[in-house]
Chain A
Amino acid sequence: MSHAHGLPHNFLPLSHLLPAGAAGIFSPAMEAVVEAPLCVPPDEPAVLLSDIREFAAGGSSYVFVVDVTAVFALDGLSRDILHYLRPGKSAPAPATEGRQAAGAGYVLLKDIFCAFEGTHDRQQIGEALRELRSIRAIRFSGFPGEEWKTPQRQLPPAPFPQRSLVLNVANDCNLGCSYCFAAQGDYGTPKRMMQEETARSSVDFLLANSADQKNVTLVFFGGEPLMNLGLIRRVVAYAGEASAKAGKHVDFTMTTNATGLTTEVIDFLSENRIGVSVSIDGPKEYNDLRRTYKNGMGSYDHVRPRILELLHRHKTRPVAARATLTHGITAVEECFWHLLDMGFHEVGFAPVTSSAQEDFALTSEELWTVLEAFRKLSDIYVERALKNESFGFSNLSNLLGELHTGISKNYPCGAGLGLLGVGADGDLYLCHRFSESPAHRMGSVQEGLDVARQTDFLSRAHLSNKPHCGTCWVRHVCAGGCYHEANTHYGSLYHANAHYCEWIRSWIDLGLHAYARIMESNPDFFPQFIEKRGAV
């Protein structure tokens, strides 16, 4: 009959403490008792801000609740209450004397009532407080269950289903782009082609380890994957049969430099619905700066007619351009329009922030120039979205997709967690960028995933181990950033990419504004254009 219960000894009925008329606005559990809080006198319930980011867009106010990546619109009262709670900020003309508690940001409950009762009735103030608390924008101090708890670090359930494998089908490249992270295509290891046996084992591995995932993705990567076209043809056929047997669907994508495209190849890609992403950096003058043949000759003139044919003939999937932004190239808009005019459905930019070789990384100043350009493209994006038109700026589409779902991440990307790279010999790596790096090997498709290494990686890479990110408001969106960049810049996978935090925060802030503006005026844009794109 009796339940275990542990009432702290210093509980008092809250009804004695609440400002008159404020009773009934909190949950019964909270009204039950009041515990003597640490930072305010024991008889004074107080309120404090949680970890939030407040922002205004299109004349309305919003709050982004950091821990849960949820976005809410605020009415005037709830917005003013949040402002009132900001440490060091003055209250919006309180009707009676209101006091901002110093230091920890505690504000006495009764002071909030005082500050707003001139303009709002108490019932409303109480309601707004309760709602802000229920979405975790504020916390109450002095109530049981309101104490701040260190979030329990939870590793993803093992075995984690594999969704994507990125195959290094050709550990070689016919170009010699100076900035290439794969060291001109071979990752600094002997040039070789993936053999059919290995590719088949990769397909089997993916199907066998995808648990209940119905759709899995095979990415043909390199080096330059088209240098091993024969293998790609055979593996596409094999994957089709094997997935049918397993009752699954395999989606194919490829990243190529476009040099090897012929009419025949393009027809093969189109017939098999292979999604193509072309690496090209913009008009000739920018592209040929670093995307060159090994003899130094630029690649633009050679790839342009091939790309035009691809865009014309490949009808089954949208074709994306991926431009790498390196030191000296910040003409983002010019590159963007050039590529869009060529006929690409989408253009995405990859700013290089760390570089192992020469200094190809954008300087901090250049990064901000890039952000300004992103801002202009985002404005156009929003305008178009309000007219229910898509705009092929991949970076923003990706970010909007994440913000719309509200995915809260403890890992920056799928590397080692659903996505793995497969080296030319079948070894598994953290992701495609770590191909052929023995330190980042995680088993092989032949002998299986090295679960011990994966677990070790996941427990070390968890966001809670990145002290730098602990108080950052974008931590569940960014989660420390790309492991490869971190490894290049800091010599450790597990380090936060602290060298571009300000930039990332500004970019995500920009995304939130765009999100709110589109969502408020044309919410249908998301199911039509964003949700369909799927994970990128």
Chain B
Amino acid sequence: MKHVRPLNKKAQNFEKQLTGQPPAADPKESVSAMQGANLGCSLVFDPGWETDATGGVTGLCQPVEADLYGCSDDCWWPAQVPDQITNFPDWADKCAAAERDWKNLDLLNPNKP
């Protein structure tokens, strides 16, 4: 933290808590666990299919491409991209880094195997 500095022990513990510890993977806390573990769920904000005021994506808080992954493997959101767990495991093989290779990702038609 830059603007506030912990003084007493409680404040120091507080800061540790804030900066450290990945959230517990307790199923009861699935919502908050997901928010910490990946940024790709719609409960968390992926700016996704938006552009900024200039029509570009650089001003957004995450690269637009993050949404592509965000909506696939570990996320429950089923609609926007292929599901890589059961049906299209190879879909992203040509896309090692989404912010660079996202153009290699192609559309799929599940009716045409």
Contacts and interface: CB of A to CB of B under 8 A. Distances in A.
Interface of A: 1-3, 5, 7, 13-15, 20, 23-24, 28-29, 31-33, 62-63, 65, 68-75, 77-78, 124, 127-128, 131-132, 134-135, 137, 403-408, 515-516, 519-520
A75 B2 contact: yes
Nearest to A125: B3
A131 B45 contact: no
A15 B6 contact: no
B8 A23 contact: no
A132 B4 contact: yes
B34 to A, nearest CB: 7
A415 to B, nearest CB: 23
B104 interface: no
Given A23-B61, A28-B44, A32-B44, A132 B9 contact: no
Given A31-B61, A70-B11, A74-B3, 6 more contacts: A28-B61, A70-B8, A75-B2, A128-B2, A406-B9, A515-B8
Contacts of A124: 3
28 contacts: A2-B78, A3-B30, A14-B45, A15-B47, A15-B50, A15-B60, A29-B43, A31-B61, A32-B44, A68-B10, A71-B7, A72-B5, A72-B6, A73-B5, A73-B6, A75-B3, A77-B3, A78-B3, A78-B4, A124-B3, A128-B3, A131-B1, A134-B18, A403-B8, A405-B10, A406-B13, A515-B7, A515-B8
A13 B11 contact: no
B100 to A, nearest CB: 21
B41 to A, nearest CB: 8
Query: Which 10 pairs across A and B sit closest by C-beta, in order of nearness?
Result: A406-B10, A70-B11, A24-B61, A32-B45, A78-B3, A71-B7, A128-B3, A73-B5, A31-B45, A70-B10
A28 B8 contact: no
Contact of A70 (B3, B14, B32, B59): B14
A13 B51 CA distance: 13
A247 B44 CA distance: 52
Contacts of A63: 4
A402 B76 CA distance: 47
Contacts of A2: 76, 78
Contacts of B6: 70-73
Contacts of A408: 10
Interface in B13-69: 13-15, 18, 30-32, 34-35, 39, 42-45, 47, 50, 53, 59-61
A71 B18 CA distance: 15
A138 B34 CA distance: 25
Q: Which of A70, A124, A131 has the most CB of B within 10 A?
A: A70
Nearest to A137: B4
B61 A15 contact: yes
Contacts of B15: 135
Nearest to A1: B76
Contacts of B44: 28-29, 32
Most buried by B among A14, A15, A69, A519: A15
Nearest to A21: B59
B106 to A, nearest CB: 24
A158 B39 CA distance: 40
A127 B8 CA distance: 22
Contacts of B34: 3
Contacts of A29: 32, 35, 43-45
A404 B9 contact: yes
A72 B11 contact: yes
Nearest to A16: B50
Contacts of A404: 8-9
Contacts of B9: 404-406
